[in-house]
Amino acid sequence: MRRRAGEILGRAHAAGLATSVDTGWDSLGRWIEDLAPGLPWTDLLFVNQDEAQRLGGASDIRNAAHRLLEGGARTVVVKLGAQGCAVFDAAGELRVPAFDVAVVDTTGAGDCFAGAFLAAIERGLGRAEAARFANASAALSVQRLGATAGLRSWDETRTWMETAPVRQGAAF
């Protein structure tokens, strides 16, 4: 993706496909240089707080997310761990708190979050419910050892969400 992000995402977009990018820590330090060519073709950009700040070139995630939107991403979803997530797009900004769970292992939580968000969008949920479902999947994931041992089916996750406590969190 480093050298061909713009080309690959552009071709997918031209073919009528929805696109998403879930970034990872850039050990080469090229951050936005590699991602920028693909942003105009990115429907959903998933970043954690540190990645948002590095990619957006701002210490405040709100400003960082807006810079990524200005770069062409249609929606920026910032994973905030125990604080939940924030979704930024042309409609504005949405903050969705995390579920209050005991954390055993955070391995794979961000990947579970992104996959669940995409699954929810594919099923027709709006951004608020997709974010809430993604937070639930991440919360289920972190309660067990390993990346996916805590995950449940779509229906089981939806049922769990009905009674699971929501963390009262700080603003970003």
* Model confidence pLDDT, tens digit, residues 129-163: 999 999 999 999 999 999 999 999 999 999 999 99
Is the per-residue pLDDT at 169 higher than 70? Answer: no
* Model confidence pLDDT, tens digit, residues 108-119: 999 999 999 999
Parallel, antiparallel or unpaired: strands 75-79 and 92-96 = unpaired
Domain spans in the chain, listed from the N-terminal domain onward: 1-79, 94-165
Q: Residues 26, 89, 105, 111: which is the catalytic one?
A: 111
Distance of alpha carbon 20 from alpha carbon 115, whole angstroms: 10
User: Which amino acid type is present at position 155?
Assistant: D
List Cα–Cα distances, 130 to 12, 36, 48, 85, in angstroms. 23, 25, 17, 11
Helix (H, G, I), strand (E, B) or coil at 15: coil
In this structure, are residues 27 and 17 in contact, taking their beta carbons and an 8 Å threshold?
A: no
Confidence class of residue 28 from pLDDT cuts 50, 70 and 90?
confident
Is the per-residue pLDDT at 171 higher than 70? Answer: no
pLDDT the model gives residue 2: 78
CA 106: distance to chain centroid? 15
pLDDT the model gives residue 27: 86
* Model confidence pLDDT, tens digit, residues 46-103: 999 999 999 999 999 999 999 999 999 999 999 999 999 999 999 999 999 999 999 9
Is the per-residue pLDDT at 31 higher than 90? Answer: no
Is the per-residue pLDDT at 170 higher than 60? Answer: no
In this structure, are residues 5 and 37 in contact, taking their beta carbons and an 8 Å threshold?
A: yes
User: Which amino acid type is present at position 72?
Assistant: G
- Please give the CATH number for the structural domain made up of 1-79: 3.40.50
pLDDT the model gives residue 30: 82
- What average pLDDT does range 4-23 have in this prediction? 95
Q: Which two tokens stand for residue 81?
A: 């761990």
Helix (H, G, I), strand (E, B) or coil at 28: coil
Mark whether 111 is an active-site residue.
yes
| 142 closest CA partner among 97, 109, 98 | 109
In this structure, are residues 71 and 111 in contact, taking their beta carbons and an 8 Å threshold?
A: no
Q: What is the largest CA-CA distance in the chain?
A: 46
The Cβ-side half-sphere exposure at 62, using a 13 Å CA radius, reads 6
